[in-house]
């Protein structure tokens, strides 16, 4: 069965950008994965479909009610259980969570099912955590208006790793961070644009030289822009050789 992704959100229509366009849209259309949405308003008990209320203790803003979220998440788990997926990985998008990086993406793409909770307002009632094994995932140290955009980012990053989603088998392997390094520069036609020439090595037809050039460029960019990625990296002999070249060219610090 293709991986199943379920999103609990007040604004399922926002996810058309994910399900209707680009790589992720094609993956959904070709049934490489399933994406389904659950609106907490459908699990409310009052005529106004209330999903939020003022926080106990006072303060600004509103907090999402525990009951609609609990019932929605319970319904998702029941649906997955009927499909033979008893313990889905459940994620709440929150700035307090583990940072989303390529390592986590590679973990998540192995999961047969993911349940994402996109919060709104000031957050969710803490008792939702007591009822469900939610792990928190963050895009970074900043606050957004809701969890929908982070959920879309997470799903896009995961879906593009599904075999067949990108069309070319090697495309995902060459992404930035796929091997712990930043991506190399890319060029296409024309060879010369207003005096800006594409590197000759990329047009020479020597695949070994192209691979060496690309690795060297990746190492150079990573050392310059994200040196932290190299600190605990187990270097291959070729990488050590190329890093040595780069350092000698840079000269004494």
Q: How far apart are CA 79 and CA 67, in angstroms?
A: 18
Please tell me the predicted confidence (pLDDT) of residue 180: 87
The yes-or-no verdict on residue 56 having pLDDT over 90 is yes
**DSSP annotation of 126:** T
Judge if the upstream peptide bond of residue 190 is cis by omega within 30 degrees of 0: yes
Write out pLDDT tens, residues 90-144. Answer: 999 999 999 999 999 999 999 999 999 999 999 999 999 999 999 999 999 999 9
Q: Which strands sit side by side in the sheet containing 134-138, from one edge to the other? A: 34-38, 4-8, 113-117, 89-99, 134-138
CA distances, 79 to each of 4, 10, 11, 86, 140 (Å): 11, 19, 21, 9, 32
Residue in 152, 112, 118 with CA at minimum distance from that of residue 19: 152
Query: 70-92 pLDDT, tens per residue?
Result: 999 999 999 999 999 999 999 99
Q: Quick check: helix, strand or coil at residue 117? A: strand
pTM of the model: 0.89
pLDDT over 60 at 170, yes or no:
no
- Give the pLDDT confidence score for residue 8 in this predicted structure: 98
Model confidence at 226, pLDDT cuts 50, 70, 90, reads very high
Active site residues: 95, 122, 160, 175
d(CA 115, CA 108): 11
Q: Domains of the chain (ranges plus CATH)?
A: 4-159 (3.40.1280.10), 179-250 (1.10.1270.20)
């Amino acid at each position: 069965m293709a991986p199943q992704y379920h999103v609990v959100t007040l604004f399922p229509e926002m996810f058309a950008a994910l399900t209707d366009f680009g790589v992720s849209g094609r993956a959904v259309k070709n049934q490489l994965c399933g994406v389904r949405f659950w609106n907490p308003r459908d699990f409310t008990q009052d005529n106004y479909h209330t999903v939020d209320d003022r926080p106990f203790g006072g303060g600004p803003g509103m907090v999402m009610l525990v009951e609609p979220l609990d019932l929605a998440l319970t319904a998702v788990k029941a649906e997955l259980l009927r499909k033979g997926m008893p313990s889905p990985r459940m994620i709440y998008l929150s700035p307090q969570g583990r940072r989303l990086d390529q390592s986590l993406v590679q973990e998540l793409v192995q999961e047969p099912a993911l349940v994402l909770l996109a919060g709104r307002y000031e957050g969710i009632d803490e008792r939702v955590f007591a009822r469900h094994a939610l792990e928190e995932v963050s895009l970074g140290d900043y606050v957004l208006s809701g969890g929908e955009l982070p959920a879309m980012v997470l799903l896009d990053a995961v879906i593009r790793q599904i075999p067949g989603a990108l069309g070319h088998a090697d495309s995902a392997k060459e992404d930035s961070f796929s091997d712990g390094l930043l991506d190399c520069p890319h060029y296409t036609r024309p060879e010369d644009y207003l005096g800006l020439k594409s590197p000759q090595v990329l047009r020479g037809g020597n695949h070994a030289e192209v691979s060496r050039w690309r690795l060297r460029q990746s190492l150079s960019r990573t050392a310059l822009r994200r040196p932290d990625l190299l600190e605990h990296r187990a270097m291959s002999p070729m990488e050590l050789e190329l890093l040595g070249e780069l350092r000698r060219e840079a000269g004494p610090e």
